[in-house]
Each structure stands twice: as structure tokens, then as C-alpha cells.
Amino acid sequence: EIHTNEKEVTEKEVTLHLLPGEQLLCEASTVLKYVQEDSCQRGIYGKLVCTDFKIAFLGDDESALDSDETQFKNKIIGENDITLHCVDQIYGVFDEKKKTLFGQLKKYPEKLIIHCKDLRVFHFCLRYTKEEEVKRIVSGIVHHTLATKRLKRLFLFSYATAVHSNTPTNPKNHTVMFDTLEDWCWELERTKGSMKYKAVSVNEGYKVCERLPAYFVVPAPLPEESVSRFQGHGIPIWCWSYHNGCALLKMSALPKEQDDGILQTHKNFLDGIYRVIHRPPYEIVKTEDLSSNFLSLPDIQTAYSKFKQLFLIDNSTEFWDTDIKWFSLLESSSWLDIIRRCLKKAIEVIECLDAQNTSVLLVEENASDLCCLVSSLVQVMMDPHCRTRAGFQSLVQKEWVAGGHCFLDRCNHLRQSDKEEVPVFLLFLDCVWQLVHQHPPAFEFTETYLTVLSDSLYIPIFSTFFFNSPHQKEMNLGREGQDAHSTPLHLLTVWDWSVQFESRAQALLQNPLYVEKPKLDKGQRKGTHLKHQRQLSLPLTQSKSSPKRGFFREETDHLIKNLLGKRISKLINYSDELQDSFREFYDSWHSKPADYHGLLLPHIEGPEIRVWAQRYLRWIPEAQILGGGAVAMTSRLVGMMEEVRSLQEKINERHHHQTALPAEAPSLLRSSARLSSLFPFALLQRHSSKPVLPTSGWKALGDEEDLARREDEFVDLGEV
Amino acid sequence: MELGLSFSVSSSSSHYPLTSPSLHCLPTQALSSPQPLISVSPESECRPPKVAAELTPDPRVGEAWGITLHPSQLSGPQSVQGSGMPEPRSPQLGSCLASGCLPGEQILAWAPGVRKGLEPELPGTLICTNLRVTFQPCGWQRRQETPLSSDYDFALVNIGQLEAVSSLSRVQLHRPGSLLKFIPEEILIHGRDFRLLRVGFEAGGLEPQAFQVTMAIVQARAQSSQTQQYSGITLSKAGQSSGSRKSPIPLLETPEDWETERKKQGANSWRVSLVNERFDVATSLPRYFWVPNRTLDSEVRRAFGHFHQGRGPRLSWHHPGGSDLLRCGGFYTASDPNKEDIRSVESMLQAGHSDVVLVDTMDELPSLADVQLAHLRLRALCLPDSSVSEDKWLSALEGTRWLDYVRSCLRKASDISVLVTSRVRSVVLQERGDRDFNGLLSSLVQLLSAPEARTLLGFQSLVQREWVAAGHPFLTRLGVTGVSEKAPVFLLFLDCVWQLLQQFPAEFEFSEFFLLALHDSVRVPDTLTFLRDNPWERGKQSGQFNSYTQVYTPGYSHPPAGNSINSQLSVWDWDLRYSNEQILQFHNPGYDPEHCQDSWLPRQQPSFMVRGPPSSVWLFSRGALTALNQLCPWRDSPCLLTVSSRWLPRPAISSESLADQEWGLPSHWGACPLPAGLLLPGYLGPQIRLWRRCYLRGRPEVQRGLSAPTITGLQDELSRLQELIKKWTPRTSPEDRSQKGDPNPILSQSR
């Protein structure tokens, strides 16, 4: 039977917080939300509402949580809020049987189970709800979340229209948006690529192509008319330049044709292009075709849908059943293997750029999925700037948003086609997480940053992830179809973190261990510059082979070593010369101490690729370790920083040093209570129905002072 | 003794007794001899080898230290000359080798080589002695204080697999008979402790030496296991340097040690019993242990007789909240105790509490054979040439079941900690033998619930008490004796501790490096700590029972006077094998000392300590408590613990841990104030990890990796972390710092 903490419904009705432009669509009262779905079922009564932005549950004891200021709280999405885009699957329970809900319903379930894309699972019991309310809420939720939508009906637009009058002043953040020519020129300057590449405005107003951004960068001698020849297909587009002058380029493949004539023109066109970029001062270009011999999008889709199922747990019994086979289940999803392959591909590209001094041209059908993934991974590993927060955000802006990754389709925001829903961006974040996990001091951001970024994919007030291309965004910003006098809508960007988090909570996105790159003095900089020049002046033929292998003796040594190495380690099976050079590069990098401000490679062996525990396990209460996890170490470090800071202050004002100020707790991490390993997410999970410890119990112990201290602790326990 | 070849180092013409493994008969100045001679000693002294006295007489003992290799295969002095060894290298090499030689150690063969796999590649010499295989890098000098090296030494027993590689073939050398048919270009020594030593031999005339050293290793290894002459080298370091040396931690070999420990725990209703002082209650028990105040020694003696191997209930740990954790062997059901005996057994189990929980230790835990099998599989998986492809790695790992066993130990320990902490009661761990999993669980429970045990000192005392003194049969379990009951229970325990270290990085004073050091110590023949099966044998060897010789075999010869208990070295004398810099790395820089301060005692929360219902007796099994009618099985059958429980997956319904039952929903853990100091570990699939730095050390590609699979790598990482912490220390003038004191004790330690 169901045990509930039957509380009297408080007089004060919990109010629904609506965002500007948000409309209430339907609601149902006396819905029971299970706290945990297992043998001892407990829950909270409340109201279930559905708006055009979210599904929200208004529990009776939510007021208690609201008063709690110390939480890592999202200002937009509450603990019991699910944005409509975040809903993954809806199940109804009919007579103990679980069925997927979609389309028109004939029967209404007694229980509603909602699986979210951020891996939360909600159980709502409708048994005590009026029948018509059940009908309304269930069909409302099913319709508004699962039915196909038109782009214009996205909440994004109602929100933007509503806040239009009082546009918030967008605080300057340092993210480069790559929507102006200057941004591209700036990036060219930064990477010293401006000698060989130029930013072009040939696509201004999207005259040439709707896939490409208005401005982009191509090799300098490339005539502009060839850009428009095949609507931007078949031309190399610059992504990034390495300091040795090699560049990472991408190209969307020319459409496949049957006609020999057209094929011949294609061939001639491409030959022309290659002639341009193969000639000095350009390095040899190696073409990396990502459409073949690499992951396919359906692979990624299947793997992820298997993988996420491991964490979408309906009840703990089910959880324990699968737990025993954890590793084989994990393996059979092959999600980790896909991550490994992505990382490996990125390392292969890096090997060309770094060790072989060749440029790399990534080719994909539209250059907007795996191209984005590989090129941004390469940049994260090679360019320390991309490991800062601003740099990472600019990178996402450059490669994914401006690069035309179809977020709308890949996230299936409009519910148009499940086939198109492939978590490519999530895969990228997971790959970056592996890097963050393996080399934490190299990144300015934390894994929490990556987790909240992944959650932001489903919040439809930010424009960043809700368009397929810059062109689509521009077209829908209201110039056409709107009154002439109205200015274009102002859309928020996800990089404005203050929209979601208070500054105290934002501190958790910042890695305290990150140290900025020490400034090089002039002499050093000159040195690297000179070396740079020398490499540029080398004849092309020599740059093909690395200077390491020249003499016969070394060559044979190398061969023997390889033979031996191959026999010794069968772990990574490589057959051809290419793979050997990859392995050599990989091994030699890992045998040296890492420079956190230089090239950074991940480990990709079997045991090294891990599950992004914070994202995937955070809603599973069983996975909580109180007082443990990486959080314990971080909070310890933060605590020490505090200590040092306060000591410094004390030293500065010596005359005050007698009156020792009690250490304040400026950070969320700084508290005397033990934090859970799921921090900062576990706190959102809490529903206290546990009787609080009677304070009288403390009285027996210790003296007054001790008592006061402990009572402080007690308060902390309650609040934190 | 035929063909007794030895490499003895001496400035005089005296010969060393080849057969004596003991140090005491050796002049110590031999070690620092400036000009060692390489000589063949044709005869050995007549002193009988000590080992022979206590081990089963073996006809081979006489030649145990001799070499049965064909003379031409040996790189003795003649062969050095004969093989055209470059003349200038000899003296240099001689002194190099000599400096590393232990008393009684003979160099069997050596060859110049290059250590590979680890960066940078080190040129040096590979030496095989009768005790170990060691690699001496060029120019590296063993320091007098650390005669053994954790980096370069491989004890012979530690050699799990030996491979010789040439450009054409690659063979494994198992038995002494296996003949190497080619000159090896490289040999790979895989340690049972997962280490890998990879030495490549240079071309250029020295190939025969490479061959000889390889064969010598094969021989020496076979001999060391065949003759079981594993004695432990009792180093007289203490005699050399500081006279009487105090053990870094109490070895619990005197009643005073036990009394001090008892007082520290605040176990006021307990006393130290001397009943087993002469090991006549049980040889596997320590000489002293704790029994309830009110129990007389005669009662103890009688009651213990009704337990398997005389291992009756003793106190393991007293919870400051009042609970007691006891351990005992299984009931000896064949005995027919009288009423009084039953009463004293019961009162000893109750220990003054009305609430008694009997924990069936073996329930839900793997059997010894399971553990051994899992460990073998794990080792096979972690071998560098395991044929498992990367994408099948995880299921192969699962297939070893090792992590599964780690998980079940953690789960059980977590449950027992909850039992001990939640109510004032007596919790009795009962395992038939009381020498394996009882120690594992009781140690884990203490680590989880006593912050003291998480300090460096506390942990070592814990291992000394619950494993060494309590008579865990290390020698048998680690397979040194060749008896069939092999099972690395202690290594399983270390893995569990490592998991805790991972999960609670700020709660432990010791570091992963320390655990690794302990892991590597179990097979190192320098001290007796892990080289005996029980306290009796250990004491016998170290000769501490001078006044009790009547207990022992008459043939036992008295050790020289002055070899007092104090001079006995234990594994806790880390400076034997680790340099000071390495020992500093034993400290976890992330440890928050706040977790273990004097706040520990007042922090106990009596509100958690609810008194149980009067005279209730429970059995804890399958994650649930069942009421029992009686404590002892003799009044009427069936008895609970005679039925051996098998390891089975827990039924799904009770899969929730006991913590949830005691403290409410797991989702409330965030809000529920767990008693301070109590840690509840996670034991879900994703939370149990592979101890990569330990198990994957032997893989070339991991060895090359930066993320510290080796001890040196780990050191780098630790120092990097410390570097980062240092960055936050205020840039103040030194006098400022001295006035203010260092804000961080850990940092000051590491400076």
C-alpha cells in the first residue's frame, strides 16, 4: 500500500512562476509525485501543470525549498520543472503495465512516468485526481510535448516577444559569436592564419548558400566565384591554424551524381581547388573523409539510446537487477567505444598537423556533424585558448552554431523526425569531459559546467541551440512578416550564464585549479617565431617525413621496435604504417610530462574511457556518497584557498589580527556539513520527510561553546 | 655441498657461510667493503642453516643455496674472465654490485642491460641473486639506510612469469628444465604484484651473459619455491645504526601495547587476557587479546575450547558510542559443553549488551577459492599481452568477478558499520576460521566508522592488529608455501581500501602511494610481518620467546643475545625500502585533518545510539536481521553456522542497504545527518573502479602514460598537486610565515 506523508494542504497555494510570455495550458490537482518508486512508496501531493514552456509539479512543501538560498539553483528550471523539449518519453501505467504514450489516447493511465533527456525520471500518480483533470492533463502533456511543432511556435519566440519591450542589457561576455566579419578576422589574427587565409563576405545575406554562415574563411587565393559555383560545396573552409602554419580545413562534399559529365566537372573543379591549396605557401593537405571509415550517425544514435537506458531507472529493484551486469551492459551499448573512436580520430588529425606538418581537410556530406565534432575536439586538444571558458564558448559558437550544426533536427526539438535525432553535440561534450576528467588542471571550466551546458540544450529561451543554421535564425528573427517598424527580436544566448545561475552558483562552473598561461617574455616569443619561420621556409618535400627518421640505423631500430612493440601489446591493433606513426606519436606524447598550456592528448585505452558520472548518475539516489567523491577534494581545496586568503588579509591588517574573524562561507562548497558526491545536483533531489533530530539531544554533550558550534553545524545540515 | 658458488664480498679472505640466510652471523663491515673480491667458496661452514631447523627436513636443503647449474652457464668469476668481459668495467661493476648486496646474499649472474618500458630508458645491470632479481641503474648507489629498493627489486617469489624475447621468437620460461634455445634480446619479468621489469640486452659481445642471467633467474626462482627456504632476511639494521630501535607502530607483542590500545579505544569493560601467553589456547591467536572484564581466564580457556581452532570471541573494536565489535571462529559443534560453559560463551558474546547481532561473515561473500580464481583472472587480464581487445575490455573485467567481490565486501562492511553505529549492541563477526574475512570486515568497519583508523598511524596499527596479530595466514594465502589454500584476501582488502580512498579523497591521511607500497610489501622478503602464518611462528623465528623455549622443538637454536623484541624489524619500517622522499608521499595532500581531531569523541551522537529491546539476539544475513532464539547452537539443533552459507546474489527485495532501513530513504541522505565520522561507501557498478595504478602497471602503453601508473609517476602527480596547493600560499616574507605559523600542516610536512 501507499504510504504518504499526508500533510494538510497549506492555505497558501503554491504559486506557479511563469516566465514572460509563458501561458498555462492545463492543470490537475491532487497529483501524487513519488519520491521513490519501490516497495515503500512515498510521495508528495501537489498540482501538475503544463504550460507552453514546461511541465511543472507544484508540491506542497516547495515553499521550504524556496527559502533555501544556498542551493545551486537554476533560476529558469526549478527542481520539479521539465521543459517540453526536455521530455524524452512518456509512459502510462495501465493496470500495472507500462506503455508508451503518444498520439490520441483512448484510455487514461493511473500513473504517468516521464523520462527526461537530462535523465531525470518522474512518477506521477493520478489515482486521486478527478477523471476529467486526468484526461486534460495527460492529453495536454502528450500533445504539447510529442506532437510535431512549427518552428515559429517555439517558446523562444513568445519569450522574446514578451521581453522585447524591456530588453535586458546583455552583459558583455567575452564569447566571440562569429556573426560578423570582424570576429573571423580576429580569430585569424589570433591563430596567425591571416597570411594564408582570408575572411570572405561572399555569402552576406545568404546569397550563395543557406547552410553556410554569412562570413567565413577560405584560402586567400581562392577566387570568390568558385565559392558560389556549387553553393559552397567542394570548397575548403578554414577552421583553425596551428602555430606551425598548418591548418584544419573542412569541406562539404559535392553532391553525388550519376552523370559522367557532371562528375567530370566536379573533378575538374576539385582539381582546381586542390591545386590552389597544395601550392606553397600551403602545406601538403591530407584529406580525411569522415563519411566513410568513421562513425555513422545511426551508430551514435543506437549507442546513445542503449546507453541512456542504463540510467533511466524506473525503480530501484530494476536498478539492482542490472547493476550486477553493469560492465557488460555498458560495453554492449558501445557508447564508450564511440567516444574512444572520436578521440582517436582527433589524435590522428593532430598527428598530421603536429608531427607531419600537413594540413588536414575534413570532408563530410554537409560538414556539419562529425566535422564539427572532430574539428572542435582537435582545437580543444591543441589550442589552450579553447580550454578557457570564453575560448570554449567561442569554439562552440564557431564550429557548431556558425558551422551550421542542425541543433533543431539533432535534438529533435520540433518532434519532426526521430531518425534525425542524434546526440552529436552531447557526444562532443562527453569527449571533452573525458579530457577534463583526465587533465583537470588544464581546463578553466569544470565538469559541472559541461553538465549544465548539456542541460541547456533543452531550454527554449536561448537561441543558441534552437536553430539549424545562422540563416534559419536570421530568417526567423522577424524581419519578414512583421511590422516594418519593429526591431528584430532579441534572443538570449546560453553563454549569458547569469540568466540561469546566481553568481554564487556560477562559481561552481569555474575550475579553482586552473592557472592561466604565464605570459611569455619577449625573447621567448621571438624564439618561437623564428622557429615558425624556419618551418615555413622548408621545402615541402622534406616536411613530409619527420626529421626523426633519416638515418638507416635508426630506421631499422625503429622497425624492430615496432615489431617488438606490436607483439608485446596487442591491445591496440594496428596494421599499416600510418597507424604506427600514430602510435609513436601517441606514446611519445604520453611519455613526457604534460604541458597544460600546450598540446593535450587524452588516454584512449580500454580502461581509461569512463562514464560521465556526474551527468548520468546524478539523479540516482543510490549513487550518492555522502562526504565523498571528487567534490570532497574540491571543497577541501577551495577551503584551503579561503584559508590562505583570510590569512593574507590578516597579515595585511596586522593591527586587527587579535580579533579573529570567523571564517565566512562565501562559496557553496564551503560548509561544515559533508557534501554528497552528487553535489551540486543531489540537493535538488531532496524531499525531507525524515524527522529532524531533536536539538535536546545535543545538550548532554560538551560545554557551551562546543554546543554553539555544533548547533551551527546542525543548522547547516538542515539547510545545505 | 657441490658446486657452491657464491659471490661473497669481503676484504679479508674469510668465506661467508653460504647456507646462512641470517644476518647475525655476518660481519657488517663487509657491506661497505671498498674492494670486494669475487671468489668461489668451495665449502661452506658447518653451521646448520637455521631454516632447516624449523621447516620439514628436506634432503635438498643442504644444496639449497648452492647452484645446480652447469658451471659453464654461470657467470662466476671465471666465466667473467672467460667471456672476455671488458677489463675496465670490472672494478666499477664490482663495487656497484657489492654495495647492493645483502648479508647472505649471493650474486648468481648478472648482465648489463637497459631497462625499458619506463621513460627514460635506464642503462644498468640486471643481477640475479639467491633472494631477488634486481636492476641496478648505472651510477645508482643503494644507500646504506635503504638496503632494499622498491623500484628496482623483484623478490624471487614475486616473479609470476618470465619471458625471453628475441627478434625471432618469444618464449615463456616456467620450469627450471625449460631450456632457452636462443640468446634473449630482452627479458620481461612479470611480478605477481602486477609490476613489470623489462630489460633489453645490448648487442656487442655480451650475449652469453644475457643468456646466463636469464637461466639463473629461472633456476633461482625454481629453487626458492621448491625448497621453501623462505626465511625472511632479518636485517640487523637496528644493530648497525641506532642500537635498539623502536618499532614505528606498536607491534602488539606485549601486554602493554594491548593495554594502551584498549585505553585509547575507551573500552572500559574489557581487559587484556594473558591466557594465551604460551600459545596453549590456540597457536593462531595472538598472545594477548581483549575479553570482557567480568570473565575469568579459566572461563575464557574453557569457552574458547568450544570454538573452531580455539578462536573464541574477542573484542576487535570498541565504538565510542558504546557498541562493541567482536570476532570469533565458528562454534565447534562436536564439543559437548556443560551449562556453565554455555553461559560463559553467551556472556562473552553478549559482552554486557542486551542486544547481540551475530554476523555470518561468509554470507554473501566469495569463498577463498573464488577470490583466488578472480585474482588469477585479473592478473591474466592485466598482463600486457592479454588478448582482450579494447572494446571487450569491460566485459572481460566483469568476467574476472574481482570487482564484484570488492563490491560485496564493501556492501557488507557498510551494513555492519550501520549495525555498530545505530544502536548500542554487541556485533559478533563469526567466520569458521576467523582468520580471513573476519579481519577484512572488521578492518573495513573500523575504517568506515573510526576516523582514527584513517590516519597513517591508525591504519598501520589496524593492519597489525586485525591481520598480523590476529593470525591471518599470509604465507599460505599468498601461495608462498605452496599449500593449496591460496587466496589473496589481504590484497582484496587493500583494493577495498583503495575504493574508499577514491570515494572519500579527503578523509584518509594516507595516499594511494602508501597502499601501493603496502601492496608491494606482501612478497618482499625483508621482514617477517607478512611471511608467517600466525603470531606463534613469527615470534619463533624472530626469537622473542627466549624464556619459552620449552614450547618449541628442542632443535631450535637460541638466537644471539641482544636480538630483543625491539630490534625486530617489521614491514612498518618503511625506510628499509623507501627513501625519505617516497615516505613523504605516503601522506595524502588532500586529507582534511579536521576529520580526525579531538572532535571525534564528543561527536558521537547518542541520539543515534538507541538501546535495543531487552535481550534480543539477531542474526544478520542477506542484508536483513532475523531474530534468533539462542546464541549458541548446542541447546538444540539446527545450528546456524554449521550450515555453510554459499555466496549468492542478494534477493532483489532486500537489495537496499541496511543504511536505508535504519535511516530512512536513500534519497533523504542529503538531509539526514549521518553520524559524524561514519562513511557509507558507494558500491554500485559505476562506483567500483579498477585500481589501475596497481593492476595495469605492467602494461607498456600504460607504463608510458603520464597518469602515473608507476610509483614514480604517482610521485610526480602528487608533487604536482602539492605545487598547485602551494600556489595559494600567500607570498609573504619568511618572518611573516614564521610568525603566523604555517596555515597548512600537510604542506609543512611535505616541505
A52 occurs within a structural domain: yes
Nearest CA in chain B to A440: B721
Interchain CB contact of B705 with A (< 8 Å) = yes
Least confident of A449-453, B423-427, B628-632, B735-739: B735-739
Chain segment A24-47, per-residue pLDDT in tens: 999 998 888 887 544 456 678 889
Tell me how long chain B is: 751
> Does A142 share its domain with A201?
no
A556 occurs within a structural domain: no
Interchain CB contact of B490 with A (< 8 Å) = no
> Does A143 share its domain with A197?
no
pLDDT at B726: 64
C-alpha cell recorded at residue A44: 508528495
Interchain CB contact of A695 with B (< 8 Å) = no
Alpha carbon dihedral B535, B540, B545, B550, in 10-degree steps, equals: 110
Residue appearing with cell numbers 602508501 = B514
Nearest CA in chain B to A559: B167
User: Binning pLDDT at 50, 70 and 90, where does residue B380 land?
Assistant: confident
Chain B CB contacts of A625 below 8 Å: 503-504, 680-682, 687
Least confident of A129-133, A558-562, B412-416: A558-562
User: Binning pLDDT at 50, 70 and 90, where does residue A417 land?
Assistant: confident
Candidate from A321, A331, A627 with C-beta closest to B504: A627
Chain segment A585-619, per-residue pLDDT in tens: 988 888 777 888 899 999 888 778 889 988 998 88
> Does A385 share its domain with A495?
yes
Nearest CA in chain B to A719: B671
Contact A622 B701 (CB under 8 A): no
Comparing CA positions, the residue from A443, A414, A417 lying closest to residue A431 is: A443
**Among candidate residues A124, A147, A170, the one where a domain is terminated:** A147
| Amino acid at site A572 | I
Mark which residues 98-137 of A lie under 8 Å from B by CB. none
Residue appearing with cell numbers 539510446 = A305
User: Binning pLDDT at 50, 70 and 90, where does residue A656 land?
Assistant: low
Distance CA B200, CA B185 (A): 6
Chain segment B331-357, per-residue pLDDT in tens: 887 777 788 888 888 889 988 888 889
> Does A124 share its domain with A200?
no
Chain B CB contacts of A306 below 8 Å: none
Contact B728 A644 (CB under 8 A): yes
pLDDT at B263: 93
Contact A564 B652 (CB under 8 A): no
| Of residues B70 and B396, more confidently modeled | B396
Chain A CB contacts of B451 below 8 Å: none
Give the mean pLDDT of B670-692: 76
Give the mean pLDDT of A101-129: 89
**What's the mean per-residue pLDDT of chain B?**
70
Degrees, nearest 5: CA angle A165-A169-A172: 155
Candidate from B602, B607, B682 with C-beta closest to A623: B682
Contact B696 A39 (CB under 8 A): no
Per-residue pLDDT at A187 exceeds 90? yes
Contact A651 B740 (CB under 8 A): yes
Comparing CA positions, the residue from A358, A405, A270, A387 lying closest to residue A585 is: A358
Chain A CB contacts of B507 below 8 Å: 627-628, 632
C-alpha cell recorded at residue B161: 612469469
> Does A143 share its domain with A255?
no
Interchain CB contact of B468 with A (< 8 Å) = no
Q: Write b or e for each residue in A177-196: b if 16 or more Cβ atoms lie within 10 A of its Cβ, otherwise e.
A: bbbebebbebbbebbebbeb
Please state, for a pLDDT cut of 70, what percent of chain B lies above it: 60
Contact B730 A697 (CB under 8 A): no
Chain segment A200-221, per-residue pLDDT in tens: 998 888 888 888 999 999 998 8
Distance from CA of B263 to the nearest CA of A (A): 21
Chain B CB contacts of A331 below 8 Å: 391-395
Chain segment B44-69, per-residue pLDDT in tens: 333 333 333 333 333 333 333 333 33
A698 occurs within a structural domain: no
Chain segment A307-332, per-residue pLDDT in tens: 999 888 877 666 667 777 888 889 99
A389 occurs within a structural domain: yes
Chain A CB contacts of B503 below 8 Å: 625, 628-629, 677
Interchain CB contact of B706 with A (< 8 Å) = yes
> Does A64 share its domain with A203?
no
Distance CA B471, CA B464 (A): 10
Residue A588: count of CB within 10 angstroms of its CB? 13
Residue A283: give the domain boundaries.
181-479+489-508
Chain B CB contacts of A587 below 8 Å: 701, 704
User: Binning pLDDT at 50, 70 and 90, where does residue A189 land?
Assistant: very high
Candidate from A594, A624, A685 with C-beta closest to B706: A594
Chain segment A543-556, per-residue pLDDT in tens: 333 333 333 333 33
Contact B652 A317 (CB under 8 A): yes
Comparing CA positions, the residue from B541, B590, B594, B549 lying closest to residue B570 is: B541
pLDDT at B21: 33
Contact B684 A570 (CB under 8 A): no
> Does A95 share its domain with A236?
no
> Does A143 share its domain with A189?
no
* Element holding A478 (H helix, E strand): none
A494 occurs within a structural domain: yes
Interchain CB contact of B680 with A (< 8 Å) = yes
Interchain CB contact of B589 with A (< 8 Å) = no
Least confident of A157-166, A509-518, A711-720, B718-727: A711-720
Contact B663 A690 (CB under 8 A): yes
Residue appearing with cell numbers 627466549 = B546
Residue appearing with cell numbers 501543470 = A49
User: Binning pLDDT at 50, 70 and 90, where does residue B427 land?
Assistant: very high
> Does A399 share its domain with A270?
yes
A18 occurs within a structural domain: no
pLDDT at B698: 72
| Of residues B57 and A183, more confidently modeled | A183
Q: Tally the domains of chain A.
A: 2
Beta carbons of B581 and B532 less than 8 angstroms apart: no
Candidate from A515, A568, A626 with C-beta closest to B700: A568
SS3 A265: helix
Q: Provide ipTM, 2 decimals.
A: 0.73
C-alpha cell recorded at residue A389: 571558458
pLDDT at B370: 92
| Of residues A19 and A705, more confidently modeled | A19
> Does A140 share its domain with A223?
no
A395 occurs within a structural domain: yes
Greatest CA separation for chain B: 85
Contact B686 A623 (CB under 8 A): yes
Give the mean pLDDT of A427-449: 93
Per-residue pLDDT at B290 exceeds 60? yes
Per-residue pLDDT at B489 exceeds 90? yes
Comparing CA positions, the residue from A18, A545, A606 lying closest to residue B386 is: A606
Interchain CB contact of A317 with B (< 8 Å) = yes
A614 occurs within a structural domain: no
SS3 B629: coil
DSSP assignment string, B265-282: HT-TTEEEE-TTTTS-S-
Interchain CB contact of A660 with B (< 8 Å) = no
Candidate from B119, B592, B607 with C-beta closest to A693: B607
| Of residues B519 and B749, more confidently modeled | B519
Give the mean pLDDT of A568-582: 55
> Does A407 share its domain with A336?
yes
The domain that contains A109 carries what CATH number?
2.30.29.30
Beta carbons of B504 and A625 less than 8 angstroms apart: yes
- Dihedral over Cα of B721, B722, B727, B729: its sign: positive
Least confident of A292-306, A699-713, B580-594: A699-713
Beta carbons of B704 and B117 less than 8 angstroms apart: yes
Phi-psi region of A357 (alpha: psi -120 to 50; beta: other; left: phi over 0): left
**Among candidate residues A122, A147, A172, the one where a domain is terminated:** A147
**Among candidate residues A104, A121, A147, the one where a domain is terminated:** A147
pLDDT at A210: 87
Give the mean pLDDT of B74-79: 36
> Does A141 share its domain with A194?
no
Per-residue pLDDT at A425 exceeds 90? yes
Contact B674 A320 (CB under 8 A): no
Distance CA A146, CA A143 (A): 6
Mark which residues 152-181 of A lie under 8 Å from B by CB. none
Strand B355-360 to B314-318 pairing: unpaired
Nearest CA in chain B to A651: B736
Beta carbons of B478 and B230 less than 8 angstroms apart: no
Distance from CA of A643 to the nearest CA of B (A): 7
Phi-psi region of A646 (alpha: psi -120 to 50; beta: other; left: phi over 0): alpha
Contact B706 A441 (CB under 8 A): no
Nearest CA in chain B to A672: B594
Distance from CA of B502 to the nearest CA of A (A): 7
Chain segment B190-245, per-residue pLDDT in tens: 888 888 888 888 776 667 788 888 888 888 877 765 444 444 444 444 444 444 56
